[in-house]
Structure 1
Amino acid sequence: MVYGICEECKQENTWNKWCNTCNAKRFQQNFKNWSSGNDDIDKFIQHTQLSANYYRKVLEWIPYDRFYNIEYIAKGGFGKVYRANWIDGFIWDWDNKNKNWGRRYPNRDVALKSLNNSKNVTLEFINEITSHHKINDNVSIIRLYGITQDPDTKNYMMVLNYAENGSLRNYLDDCYNDLSWKEKIENLHDIADGLDQIHANELIHRDLHIGNILHTHEFTFSNVCITDMGLCKPADYIATESTKNSTYGVLPYIAPEILRGQNYTKAADIYSFALKICQGVRPRFDIKVPQLFVHLIKRCLDANQLNRPTASEVLNILKKWWIELRKAEEIEETELLKQIKEADKINNNNIQINIPSTCLSYETHSEAIYTSRLLNFNNLPEPKNSDDYYKQYDNIISTEYSENLQIDISQLKINDDQNDESKSEKSF
């Protein structure tokens, strides 16, 4: 009896102050008092409420008039994002005294994500909220609270936790030089934790890039989390011939086998994750990083997807490193601690010998694009690891381009219809 006994039905609670049996009845009694106007959405929300074994698994239909201070943020490849204040806050538990739902964080900031033409509810919209709900109980996935509808456009909108620090790219732009190795590893651990949860639910993200990683706060602690499940698909999804030849994404983050028309696998997500390791620990060529990091990056970027580690393996490696750094003063010096000490010494010497500070800064190029776009391709060569590159730059991995795939960029036909909007840092 970890969570105690329900005061009403005397059965075991499924969470602290949460009884699935009793709460399901309360939700069901309220079904007649709300509707999204769409049967599929209604049924999905009702299902989440009836099956919820604790608060994070509950989705709500939230009337649009429960939001205020609605402000446009950005436009991405599939819709728009707004910031707003939610009057009520999310359901936390049942208040037996007042016979109503107890709620947390009234008037908090939330993000409203509108999908283009979602007034005619598409399978894509249902798939996104379904995929998101499966992993909604992990703090390394941006929290989904429910669904609402814009009364003007009639487009349906996802109501999500608002990331006040923006994307990981924004956060690193502002804070990289102040981050400790422990904080860098902790950020990477959070991403790996979210990705492991996605893969454990037999899903593949398929669009993992730095614009889809957000830095936010959940209750009293901050963390890095994954967002945008718009392209997420089951692990056993087989693309049609037409979709194989049309790939959405941010080019540097797409695994080489995907550009050649192969089906997405979990290993393709691992390839994308490797680029975030690069950007999280070494934003410029001039920065020395521990060889253990370089080894992990090389494994994740391997041209042969079968040689890449799983998300679970990456998570365990990062967890081990984080524990070593957290207990650095209590344990014998490990190989990681030795390599970090060596890297810091070299980097500090570089600063002292007057290497221009811009070499060690973290800045976003004005033309960098971190929003998913349609990429058409044909007749690309088979990917291979560039051994010469690794021999020459044993400690350096490029953040902008992978040496795993030798291709002529002119072979790619990139859909630039949304080129102006796609340079937004607050992509989703």
Structure 2
Amino acid sequence: MIVQLKGLKVSKNITLEFMDEIKIDYIFYGITQDAETEDYMMVLNDKCKVCKVKCYAIHFQQNFENWTSGNNKIDIFIQGSQLSAHYDVTIALEWIPYDKFYDVKCIANGSYRANWIDEKILSYWDVKNQNWKKGVQNPFVTLKRLNNPENIALELTNEINKSYGITQNPETKDYMMVLSDECKKCNIICYAIHFQQNFGNWTSGNNDIDKFIQSSQLSVHNNANKALEWIPYERFINIEYVAKGGFSKVYKANWLDGNINYWDNEIRHWKRGNQYMVVVLKSLNNSKNVTPEFINEIMLHNKVDDSYFIIKFYGITQDPETKNYMMVLDYANGGSLRNYLNTNYDELNWKIKINYLYNIASALESIHRNELIHRDLHIGNILKNNDVTLITDMGLCKPADYNSSKSTKNNVYGVLPYISPEILRGQNYTKAADIYSFGIIMYEIISGLPPYHDTNHDNSLAIKICQGLRPMFKIKVPKLVLYLIKGCLDANSLNRPTAIEIRNKLWKLKLQREIKEEINDNLPISNIPLISSSYKTHSEAIYISRLLEFNNLPEPKNSDDYYEYDDNIISTKFSESLQIDISQLNINEDGKLESLQIDISQLNINEDGNKIKSN
């Protein structure tokens, strides 16, 4: 029988060397000794113990002594990949001498484009020629500096390109990954590869933002529309100030280039559409000092890309004067839904209102299905575009330089009327908190009135909301709609419906005749005065996101007759019992009542804030 005799380099380490050979999966017969050299030698079967044949791993192993990278860890890593390639040669890496590359050109910091003189390994061992069968003469490859030779596996795992092997620049002594132009996931030169090859041609000036944009680009393979871009500010013209938000300023502009559609192989460049398209530039306050935590919040917006009812996010730019970063978003021609209601409420019928709510619920269902939470859902973050409504500003209810390590439990960011009682008391945001916000939006779209527009948005209102106060309708509302809103506004977050339940109920409302019959008994729409002229907003009613600090708020509760009272969200009796002139109360900085300046007996109010019967 034919066997292989392999010398033991150091007989003292016979156990270690023996174990190394076992890892190679040889069949081990025993040990012998060369009579002339007196070297001890292992007697090995020339077949793989796993495959029972002379597989690819054996051919690679027999060539180990013919090369070295000069780095033991790199040698072991390459050898390990080759020894695991029993039947699949494509998973094996090579040590490739640097002189096998020519026309080496720098394409980014630490990355180079080159031609590989040798052919790349294909799929089998040529028994006749006793060598590897190769193909693809002079392929283009990318040489990318290996930043951490101590952890090669991690770098290669995070690399989007297929890897052929490792080489070393003889001048810089840098070890480099030899990467193909093909994506490991797609096995083709996909969109992600085209984006990656351009990384060295742009920077936002902020490492976290660069990584965020690059990550979005590397995640797209066959749909370039989902990738974000770094867009130079000079690519925008006709920039006009539109409005101010809680932590941002909004501008309208024309984007000269338009958004990416696909890669054009003929011109070797991105094919774009919608040149001079109208977009929104949302300038994030203090974002020149943007924190990684805030970048993670922006990432949420880009994660949900499967809903037609979430505003499109194209990329990021930077105002050269303020240095603040700006989100580039799709333009909604109807503006905010709040502004639209102010001027067009009298034109809306029930069908339109339910359709708007269905759009918002669909977007919220998509957000929650992706295990995300909006956290700042209010009508200022609902936009109108033609006949649909869209959600925007996902998770952006904090300043760009927000640092959670410096915040306190009682810090709440948002618009008070839309914040659920448990969040006001300092609990963590949940999907149920978004549902509460949606319930307030339902009230607003149906009534046309901003919630609590006639009162101060202060600690007193926060207390009353926790005690069970909810806004009241001044019009008759179908019971099916009323009960859905009540469910959303329940003080117990566990009782609130899910987004998909809300969406499905609204879909049925769009189709059922029951609601149409009930609506026929409602006040004619023509008898409802123009909302914009029928209400006045309190000077301290604030509808932009801000920092709210509350202490010692009462436990959230519903009014005693919450589900018994079926003509409104809340009974008039309960609402009136909470209408205390807060200016008559002495409340300290912690929100605790110190003394009363009014005769409490005249109000007949119990400790929970509910009105009780008098004797």
Q: Secondary structure at the match of 2:508?
A: helix
Q: Does 1:30 align with 2:195?
A: no
Count of aligned residue pairs for this structure pair = 371
Q: Does 1:145 align with 2:314?
A: yes
Identify the range of structure 1 (257-266 vs 278-287) with the bigger mean alpha-carbon deviation.
278-287
Following superposition, the deviation at residue 300 of structure 1 comes to 0.6
Following superposition, the deviation at residue 138 of structure 1 comes to 2.1
Following superposition, the deviation at residue 167 of structure 1 comes to 0.9
Query: Structure 1 residue aligned with 2:302, among 130, 133, 138?
Result: 133
* Change over 3 Å in CA distance of 1:339–1:28 after alignment to 2: closer
Q: Does 1:83 align with 2:252?
A: yes
TM-score of the pair, normalised by structure 2:
0.55
Q: Secondary structure at the match of 2:426?
A: coil
* Change over 3 Å in CA distance of 1:96–1:175 after alignment to 2: farther
Match of 1:303 in 2: 491
The alignment's C-alpha RMSD in Å is 3.3
Match of 1:244 in 2: 409
How much identity, in percent, do the aligned residues show? Answer: 58
Query: Structure 2 residue aligned with 1:69, among 209, 232, 238?
Result: 238
Q: Does 1:286 align with 2:286?
A: no
Match of 1:39 in 2: 207
Match of 1:60 in 2: 229
Where in structure 2 are the equivalents of 1:387-426 lying within 5 Å? 387-388=560-561, 391=564, 394-397=566-569
CA distance in 2, matches of 1:383, 1:100: 58
**Structure having the larger proportion of residues in strand:** 2
* Change over 3 Å in CA distance of 1:359–1:39 after alignment to 2: closer
Identify the range of structure 1 (174-183 vs 185-194) with the bigger mean alpha-carbon deviation.
174-183
CA distance in 2, matches of 1:362, 1:56: 44
Match of 1:422 in 2: none
Q: Is the 8 A contact 2:377 2:438 kept in 1?
A: yes
Q: Is the 8 A contact 1:199 1:311 kept in 2?
A: yes
Match of 2:555 in 1: 382
CA distance in 1, matches of 2:218, 2:529: 56
Where in structure 2 are the equivalents of 1:93-242 lying within 5 Å? 93-216=262-385, 222-231=387-396, 242=407
Q: Is the 8 A contact 1:208 1:253 kept in 2?
A: yes
* Change over 3 Å in CA distance of 1:116–1:240 after alignment to 2: closer
Deviations 1:143-192 (A, max 9, x none): 11001111111111111112221111112222222223222112111111
Following superposition, the deviation at residue 39 of structure 1 comes to 2.0
Identify the range of structure 1 (276-285 vs 144-153) with the bigger mean alpha-carbon deviation.
276-285
CA distance in 2, matches of 1:413, 1:225: 39
Deviant stretches of 4+, over 6 Å: 359-362, 405-414
CA distance in 1, matches of 2:365, 2:410: 28
Q: Secondary structure at the match of 1:119?
A: helix
Following superposition, the deviation at residue 240 of structure 1 comes to 7.8
* Change over 3 Å in CA distance of 1:21–1:137 after alignment to 2: farther
**Structure having the larger proportion of residues in helix:** 1
Q: Is the 8 A contact 1:138 1:194 kept in 2?
A: yes
Q: Is the 8 A contact 2:191 2:224 kept in 1?
A: no
Match of 1:424 in 2: none
Match of 2:517 in 1: 341
Following superposition, the deviation at residue 97 of structure 1 comes to 4.2
Q: Is the 8 A contact 2:411 2:549 kept in 1?
A: yes
Q: Secondary structure at the match of 1:243?
A: coil
TM-score of the pair, normalised by structure 1:
0.78
Match of 1:51 in 2: 219
Deviations 1:320-348 (A, max 9, x none): 223x1xxxxxxxxx4xx233333234312
Whichever residue aligns with residue 99 of structure 1, its letter is R
Following superposition, the deviation at residue 33 of structure 1 comes to 1.7
* Change over 3 Å in CA distance of 1:232–1:25 after alignment to 2: same
Whichever residue aligns with residue 62 of structure 1, its letter is I
CA distance in 1, matches of 2:446, 2:551: 34
Q: Is the 8 A contact 1:287 1:360 kept in 2?
A: no
Q: Is the 8 A contact 1:83 1:112 kept in 2?
A: yes
Q: Which blocks of at least 5 consecutive residues in structure 1 are unaligned?
A: 1-8, 234-238, 325-333, 415-428
Whichever residue aligns with residue 385 of structure 1, its letter is N
CA distance in 2, matches of 1:95, 1:258: 50
Deviations 1:70-105 (A, max 9, x none): 111222221222111101111112234443322221
Q: Is the 8 A contact 2:309 2:389 kept in 1?
A: yes
Following superposition, the deviation at residue 395 of structure 1 comes to 2.7
CA distance in 2, matches of 1:146, 1:310: 31
CA distance in 1, matches of 2:274, 2:207: 30
Identify the range of structure 1 (363-372 vs 20-29) with the bigger mean alpha-carbon deviation.
363-372
CA distance in 2, matches of 1:72, 1:62: 19
Q: Is the 8 A contact 1:142 1:160 kept in 2?
A: yes
CA distance in 2, matches of 1:270, 1:158: 26
CA distance in 1, matches of 2:248, 2:360: 24
Higher relative contact order (CA 8 A, sep 6+): 1
